Structure 1
């Protein structure tokens, strides 16, 4: 239970990679500071906050699948969101079409930006109900630990961002 008008929440995807004797531990994530809209502001008591997290598994992957591709998975994700009605949804590995699906089909607003060069347009995002929450601010910074040659791995350019 949250008993204040403002909250901060974050999601993090961790990756430990090694290639050509180069290791990298990258933390890629999102956080957001929100304040409750006036009609939802808690009184002397506390309010309930529902949060969900999905690893969307980018729709841009060249997967050979019969039921695990985004085209099939998105409807199950929609059913889960409609059933539990979370205030906030954290996602990882979201491509533009996946983010658009959540915003247009589920009436959520989103915050997030590409990690690194945005070649695959993957991003970690936080979705929120704009009628219930107001965003207080955002910023971006990198958080990566690299052993060896930092230019040898894609992760050297990954970002951790806060919205």
Structure 2
């Protein structure tokens, strides 16, 4: 049995009516602008994580900690991870565990693959690195491995200028690990970091991750330089929502409620901080590191 064909006139008329009704519906619905708004305000998930350098000596050897670290990172899937203390082979393990979605930029603090890295891992589907560099926290910051302010070892900074593929915004990621045993070296390091940041494009926000080896809060020399009297904001203090406050260096022990935060994520003031958290994940009693990773959900400012 043949079907009676619709006339072109009838199809065109029905299509016009449908188009008119759809346009009216979208014009009066908030859904019409939701996709564009969502794209602009897409949250950027950031983690700062002192990995504790790899050791073969139990307890808490890298062999014991690696599976827990793998599970943590695969569960959280941050777009940006600033790590401290990682050694070359350890960081290669993490790259393998994160699979091909992530890439990384970093350099051993003694040059090449030697020493601990201030590695920056990034989700390639979200972030595109446009430029990067390293400098050392010393009187000769461009000399690889330089150390002039005392302390235990060379300290350094790795920074990357990223394009956020989703929002179209650019920003700087800065990752560091300050001296643990010399307050003067820490203070000079904070001064140098701000001096080097002055060369950044002032129109672009900064996201800084690091182990600062100083409890957060006014009165600390580094915190006052960078935050209290400086250009950056502590995401923990600025967050709209926060998890439980615990000390970020429990040294494989039960985290201490209200303990000191020596690992921070700092940003430019124009960055919107939606959430901040100190991650206490462990598996069968095993922590991934002697430090706890800290995390923040950020919305970068629009151009």
TM-score (norm 1): 0.59
**Which structure is larger by alpha-carbon Rg, 1 or 2?**
2
Task: Choose from 63, 75, 95 the match for 2:67.
Answer: 75
Contact 2:47 2:80 in 1 (8 A): yes
CA deviation string 1:93-140 (max 9, x = no partner): 111121111211212211111113568531110101112210010122
Q: 2:51 aligned with 1:56, yes or no?
A: yes
Task: Choose from 119, 128, 143 the match for 1:125.
Answer: 119
More strand by share: 1
More helix by share: 2
RMSD (Å) for aligned C-alpha atoms? 2.7
Distance 1:136 1:72, change over 3 A: same
Contact 2:53 2:87 in 1 (8 A): yes
Alpha-carbon distance in structure 1 between the residues aligned to 2:122 and 2:159: 14
Whose RCO is larger (CA < 8 A, sep 6+)? Answer: 1
Return 5+ residue gaps in structure 2 as ranges.
Answer: 1-34, 140-146, 161-303
Task: Choose from 46, 58, 76 the match for 1:65.
Answer: 58
Identify the residue that residue 89 of structure 2 maps to in structure 1.
Answer: 97
CA deviation string 1:66-94 (max 9, x = no partner): 3x111111111111112111111111111
Number of equivalences = 115
Contact 1:94 1:122 in 2 (8 A): yes
Contact 1:116 1:158 in 2 (8 A): no
